[in-house]
């Protein structure tokens, strides 16, 4: 009898763990009004902390000189440019926590030429001259795998927040890849430009507002 109980325990523990993981992964990301984020819908990404910059926008670096990057508005009253989220599952209609997705600025396409047919409004990870890894543009939507490993991000909920979240780079679209994972945060350059970057001192805490 005792052996049977122990055997059942070993069988049930992995099952319970898998159910807990599945439940967490299925949580829907909500906007500040409590509505679930929908794919193909425009949303502003806005900071939780007031008085420390506004929303996100494309950094044209003057006259649309390339490459383009993702920066934060210096003034908190500016909401930046709306975004569109595209989950790794193209049939998914809502955005879920801790699930790989592409992030794309909504609006006009900028005149930039990127390798691998990248789009100048889709987020991707790139290393800068200083050794810091930044979120730039030139990624592509879909086609999960090793060739697109830099294009995938995740949204994770902050503890104790009222529909507050953070962005994480830790793609799971390639089983053999070993990306350097971390939270996204803001790096302030000498010029005053507030660039979105990987593995900063503090994560960029945000909420989503339907545009």
pLDDT of residue 22: 41
Q: What is the 3-state secondary structure (H, E, C) of 59-84?
A: ECCCCCCCCCEEEECCCCCCCCCCEE
Tokens representing residue 128 in the block: 């800068």
Mean pLDDT by runs of 10 across the 211 residues of the chain is 43 41 66 95 95 89 67 94 95 96 84 63 85 89 93 94 93 91 93 91 95 95
pLDDT of residue 23: 42
pLDDT of residue 210: 97
pLDDT of residue 108: 67
pLDDT of residue 183: 97
- Residues 138 and 17: their CA atoms lie apart, in Å, by 38
The class of domain 2-210 in CATH terms is mainly beta
Asked if 196 and 208 touch (Cβ cutoff 8 Å), the reply is no
């Amino acid at each position: 009898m005792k052996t049977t109980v122990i055997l059942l325990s070993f069988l049930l523990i992995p099952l319970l763990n898998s159910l807990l993981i599945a439940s967490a992964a299925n949580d829907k990301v909500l906007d500040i009004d409590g509505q679930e984020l929908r794919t193909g819908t425009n949303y502003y990404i806005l900071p939780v902390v007031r008085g420390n910059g506004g929303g996100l926008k494309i950094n044209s670096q003057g006259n649309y000189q390339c490459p383009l990057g993702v920066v934060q508005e210096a003034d908190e009253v500016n909401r930046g440019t709306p975004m569109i989220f595209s989950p790794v599952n193209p049939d998914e209609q809502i955005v879920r926590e801790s699930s790989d997705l592409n992030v794309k600025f909504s609006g006009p396409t900028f005149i930039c030429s990127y390798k691998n047919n990248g789009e100048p409004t889709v987020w991707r990870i790139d290393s800068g001259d200083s050794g810091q890894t930044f979120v730039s543009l030139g990624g592509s939507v879909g086609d999960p795998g090793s060739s697109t490993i830099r294009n995938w991000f995740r949204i994770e909920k902050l503890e104790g927040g009222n529909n507050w979240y953070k962005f994480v780079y830790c793609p799971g679209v390639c089983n053999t890849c070993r990306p350097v994972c971390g939270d996204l945060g803001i790096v302030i350059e000498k010029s005053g430009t507030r660039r979105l970057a990987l593995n900063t001192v503090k994560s960029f805490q945000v909420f989503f507002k339907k545009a």
